[in-house]
């Protein structure tokens, strides 16, 4: 996503909120944790003319009271149930319904000014056409994952008369009316609760494990490294880190043998990174991890530097969250998600691994190598593109796996390896482990060396207290 104060080249191919929310939107579902309704309406005034807007949020009573005063009459505010203490509604996504289809967006930014202007963030979106109403085909994995996740949010069902589309009851099943067969990602969501039996593998890191187990990866990824990159660190222990690594390491090689356990690194800003960032120490408000979590001895072997010279974002502190497996500049898979590194977000196994306890709602998109014969070129907003669901010409006479690589990959594209997809990984690969002079950022320590604005930390204001950013 675009970052102010960066040179033009660094924002090439990056998007602003107005690149995302555009066109003739008939209905919008906006899912987030923090929502600044004043900023949102000033930044996207076209939302004022959208017939129906459902805001699914995680705000507390104080901000919610302000939102209720400021919202438009056709807006519905909904906070999903949180059955387990210390959980949050943290998912960041948008569903925009158009006359031609639906735009699905999964991203990492709160709906606040600083998140869309000053920080390194990630966003995925794809447009899908309305289904042929005569079709009887079953939903694909993406559709089923999406509708099942939406069903857990328990929003109040409402009726919507959508111009050019018809009158509908807006519930999770409404989103089965679109054709997601061209989806290039899988959804990995977390939902609060105690999940067991067939539900054990539906959410959190067990969902990721289940999807990866079904995948075959190139032999080069055998025992290859993992990266955990996020903006808030929970209270962790070595047992849970091993549990998570087993899920992150799932998958098979071409000979159908397991890939094997990968070694994780944690990409995390140092104190010096925050001090010299575009926001100075103020950036640390959105990297809310206390010293007691950061200083645990077993974590020392994981720390790696935030370096983003190739993307021009060394000074734009990361609010993006990515988890991935890689070898050199080749990527086995990458997950862009709202999940930080915490048991609350990913879940923790209990009762002899028969139950997964999750506290928070999270949502991410998993990029995998996939076989495709055709290229969809559908857009909800560009009438110059192909009409509903039509296919562009065949890429090849046979199915070939796509190849995932970083932006700085220097291999040669050839017919044998299929289509090469460059994922905009914002940090350098391989990450550089911390040296002896590096100190991982924690937001409840005192820092007396002045930042780029001449400030020390904490500033003479009350610290922001949420740990769910």
Which residue numbers are catalytic?
Answer: 90, 319
- Answer for the pair 59, 79: CB distance below 8 angstroms, yes or no: yes
Q: How far apart are the first and last CA of the chain?
A: 17
Q: Is the dihedral of CA 377, 378, 381, 384 positive or negative?
A: positive
DSSP 443: T
The structure tokens listed for 287 are: 């990297």
- Answer for the pair 320, 120: CB distance below 8 angstroms, yes or no: yes
The structure tokens listed for 123 are: 């966003």
- Answer for the pair 131, 138: CB distance below 8 angstroms, yes or no: no
Query: DSSP string spanning 32-101?
Result: -S-B-HHHHHHH-GGGGG-SEEEEE----HHHHHHHHHHS-TTEEEE-----STT--B---EEEEE-SSE
Closest CA to 88 of 190, 233, 240: 190
Q: Is the peptide bond before 430 cis (omega within 30 degrees of 0)?
A: yes
H or E stretch at 226 = strand 225-229
Q: Is the dihedral of CA 169, 170, 174, 177 positive or negative?
A: positive
- How far is the CA of 67 from the CAs of 26, 111, 270, 273, in angstroms? 22, 13, 35, 34
Count CA atoms within 13 Å of residue 97 on its CB side.
25
- Answer for the pair 6, 313: CB distance below 8 angstroms, yes or no: yes
> In this structure, how many other beta carbons lie within 10 angstroms of the beta carbon of residue 383?
9
Largest CA-CA distance found in the chain, in angstroms, rounded? 67
Q: Between vectors from CA 228 to CA 225 and to CA 234, what angle results, nearest 5°?
A: 140
Beta-carbon contacts of residue 264 (< 8 Å; ≥ 6 apart): 225, 226, 227, 228, 241, 245, 248, 302
Query: DSSP string spanning 166-201?
Result: EEEEESGGGGGGB--TT--EEEEEE-SEEEEGGGTT
- How far is the CA of 115 from the CAs of 16, 33, 431, in angstroms? 11, 12, 24
Exposed/middle/buried for 432, CB within 10 Å: 0-12, 13-18, 19+? middle
């Amino acid at each position: 996503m675009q970052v102010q104060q960066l040179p033009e080249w660094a924002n090439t191919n990056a998007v602003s909120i107005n690149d995302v929310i555009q066109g003739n939107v008939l209905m919008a579902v906006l899912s987030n944790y923090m929502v600044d309704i004043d900023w949102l309406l000033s930044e996207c005034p076209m939302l004022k003319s959208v017939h129906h807007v459902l805001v699914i949020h995680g705000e507390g009573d104080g901000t919610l009271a302000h939102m209720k005063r400021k919202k438009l009459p056709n807006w519905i505010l909904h906070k999903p149930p949180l059955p387990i203490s210390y959980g949050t509604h943290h998912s960041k996504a948008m569903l925009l319904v158009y006359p031609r289809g639906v735009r699905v967006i999964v991203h990492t930014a709160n709906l606040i000014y600083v998140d869309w202007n000053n920080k390194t963030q990630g966003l995925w979106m794809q447009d899908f056409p309305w289904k042929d109403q005569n079709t009887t085909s079953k939903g694909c994995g993406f559709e089923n994952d999406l509708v099942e996740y939406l069903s857990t949010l328990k929003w109040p069902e409402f009726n919507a008369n959508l111009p050019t589309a018809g009158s509908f009851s807006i519930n999770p099943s409404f989103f089965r009316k679109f054709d997601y067969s061209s989806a290039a990602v899988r959804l990995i969501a977390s939902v609060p609760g105690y999940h067991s039996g067939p539900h054990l593998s539906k959410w959190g890191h067990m969902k990721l494990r289940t999807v990866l187990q079904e995948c075959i990866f190139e032999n080069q990824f055998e025992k290859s490294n993992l990266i955990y990159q996020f903006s808030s660190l929970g209270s962790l222990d070595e047992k849970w880190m091993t549990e998570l690594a087993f899920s992150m390491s799932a998958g098979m090689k071409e000979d159908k043998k397991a890939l094997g356990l990968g070694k994780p690194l944690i990409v995390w800003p140092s104190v010096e990174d925050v001090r010299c960032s575009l926001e100075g120490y103020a950036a640390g408000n959105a990297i809310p991890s206390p010293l007691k979590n950061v200083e645990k001895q077993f974590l020392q072997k994981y720390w790696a530097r935030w370096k983003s010279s190739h993307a021009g974002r060394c000074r734009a502190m990361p609010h993006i969250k990515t988890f991935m497996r890689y070898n050199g500049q080749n990527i086995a898979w990458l997950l862009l998600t709202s999940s930080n590194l915490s048991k609350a977000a990913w879940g923790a196994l209990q009762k002899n691994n028969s139950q997964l306890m999750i506290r928070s709602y999270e949502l991410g998109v998993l990029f995998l190598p996939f076989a495709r014969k055709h290229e969809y070129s559908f857009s909800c907003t560009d009438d110059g593109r192909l009409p509903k669901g039509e296919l562009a010409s065949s890429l090849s006479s046979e199915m070939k796996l796509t190849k995932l690589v970083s932006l700085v990959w220097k291999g040669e594209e050839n017919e044998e390896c299929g289509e090469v997809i460059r994922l905009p990984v914002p940090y350098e690969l391989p990450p550089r482990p911390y040296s002896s002079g590096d100190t991982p950022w924690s937001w409840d320590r005192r820092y007396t060396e002045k930042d780029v604005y001449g400030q020390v930390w904490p500033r003479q204001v009350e610290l922001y207290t949420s740990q769910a950013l």
